[in-house]
Amino acid sequence: MGVFGAPRPAARCTECTRLTYPELLFFFETTGDGETERQRCALQRGHPGAHTAGIAKHETGAEGAWWLQWDSGGHHCIELAHCTAYRAAHPDYDICQLPAGHWGYHSWLLTD
């Protein structure tokens, strides 16, 4: 634990993957978005299960986003809600940038 019982920052997972051309096309056609071909896992290092990277936010303002999940079995594109945690004490009211139900610390406690 850090100062005053707050958790210390944790390392973000370092696993990366590349989107295939059909995946890039899907995200572009579906959302008009699709950030980049190379994706890094957004979860805390040591997480169980598939790696997860946010690919595109909903243009409609819906609560959620498109996520890429991958493991040794390949890539899976999935629509997931965002985690609802936020730091009320932070001046910008940081909202967690990970999917709902994620394992480990919230995004603001993860470091590269």
* Domain segments of the chain as ranges: 3-104
Pick from 40, 54, 50, 49: nearest CA to 11: 40
Cα–Cα–Cα angle for 90, 10, 96, rounded to 5 degrees: 40
Pick from 13, 81, 18: nearest CA to 42: 13
Rg, C-alpha atoms of the chain: 15
Output the tens digit of pLDDT for each of the chain's 112 residues.
444 556 678 999 999 998 888 877 877 776 665 556 788 999 999 999 999 998 876 554 556 788 889 999 888 888 888 898 887 766 666 788 899 999 999 998 899 8
Task: Name, in order, each residue with C-beta under 8 angstroms of 55's C-beta and a sequence gap of 6 or more.
Answer: 19, 27, 33, 34, 35, 39, 65, 66, 67, 68, 77
